[in-house]
Amino acid sequence: MELIRGVHNIQPRHHGTVASVGNFDGMHLGHQAVLRQLLDSSVRYQLPSTAIIFEPQPAEYFHPEGQPPRLTALREKLMLFQRFGIDRVCVMRFNEHFAAQTAEEFATTTLVDGFGIRELIIGDDFKFGSARGGDFFALQAFGERYGFTVLRTQSHILHGERVSSTAVRQKLIDGNFAGAEAFLGRRYFIAGRVVHGQHRGRSIGFPTVNLNLNRRRAPLNGIYASYVRGLGEQLLPAVSYVGSRPVIEDPTYVLETHIFDFDEDCYGRRLTVEFVEKVRGDLPFESFEKLRQQIVIDCAAARKILGLAMPRPST
């Protein structure tokens, strides 16, 4: 998969493609329906498939403090696009200049002059351009004018509920991981590179791998039964903490994972933590001894959720 960073990096060889535009936050079943239609168009026209996304996401640009946490960081989106078989992803820098573009300016500059699109696939709620002045009908009019077709996918309904990023986020916040997994078509995950932490977990008998989140927050807060992917062929069972560690009064938002029956150096490795079920919410602790006692309970609960036997006590 090829990554194109910004309209200024669109080359003549990128001209002639089928494309889709959107946030794709979470890459849920609705997004997957869009991408399947994009791949069908790619086969029909015998042209590469291109996904066009924005960083930051437009709502984050306009309301940086008031937006709910996103489901997927940029690197995670790229992982999922590659897994889906998309040929190219163009990451457009959403800034003041880009935000000021009208819908027609975006269509002509990026879609027509830049990519020379033959067909555009969008979700049913896609809006674009300054003041969100562009929609499906505007795109159809531009397509007739500039020579491309536009297809719109319908909302994906599951169990009577519309699949959306908002719905997935709420299920994660509510601890409804079965519902979130159904909407995503997979377990919810967070990926990142293992970095050095403060080694507090090791000091109380529970070493952790700490992932660099490269984001301010995620839609999780508390203790979770989880699996770790990226340390060999097998998924490794674990218990994960997501939060800001009130016991050490550190506001930094972290993901710390204790992998059961594992104590190897994996600094610098890229890992994925898949979340299975919530054990409890975040709690304040008056001492590290109180925290250690609770971690013993949390580990037992996570092992039970994952179907693991309790370890034999050391002699």
Task: List, run by run, the mean pLDDT of 10-residue segments along the chain (315 residues).
Answer: 94 96 95 97 98 91 84 95 97 90 90 96 80 80 94 92 96 96 97 79 74 80 96 94 70 87 88 97 80 91 90 56
85 and 129 inside one domain: yes
Dist CA 223 CA 242 (whole Å): 7
Does residue 171 belong to any structural domain of this protein? no
**Which residues make Cβ contacts (< 8 Å) with residue 102, sequence separation at least 6?**
129, 130, 133, 134
Last residue of a domain, one of 158, 180, 205: 158
User: Could you tell me whether strands 149-152 and 157-158 are parallel, antiparallel, or unpaired per DSSP bridges?
Assistant: unpaired
Cβ atoms of 264 and 249 within 8 Å: the answer is no
Domain range holding 73? 2-158
Q: What is the CATH number of the domain that holds 76?
A: 3.40.50.620
Instruction: Kindly report the number of other CB atoms within 10 A of residue 278's CB atom.
Output: 20
209 and 68 inside one domain: no
7 and 151 inside one domain: yes
Q: What is the CATH number of the domain that holds 214?
A: 2.40.30.30
Cβ atoms of 218 and 289 within 8 Å: the answer is no
Assess whether the previous peptide bond of 48 is cis (omega < 30° from 0): no
Dist CA 223 CA 247 (whole Å): 14
For 128, which DSSP code? B
Does residue 31 belong to any structural domain of this protein? yes
Does residue 67 belong to any structural domain of this protein? yes
Global model pTM greater than 0.95: no
111 and 240 inside one domain: no
151 and 192 inside one domain: no
Considering its fold, how many domains does the chain have in total? Answer: 2
65 and 212 inside one domain: no
147 and 254 inside one domain: no
Chain Cα centroid distance, residue 59:
16
Cβ atoms of 216 and 69 within 8 Å: the answer is yes
Does residue 166 belong to any structural domain of this protein? no
Last residue of a domain, one of 136, 158, 180: 158
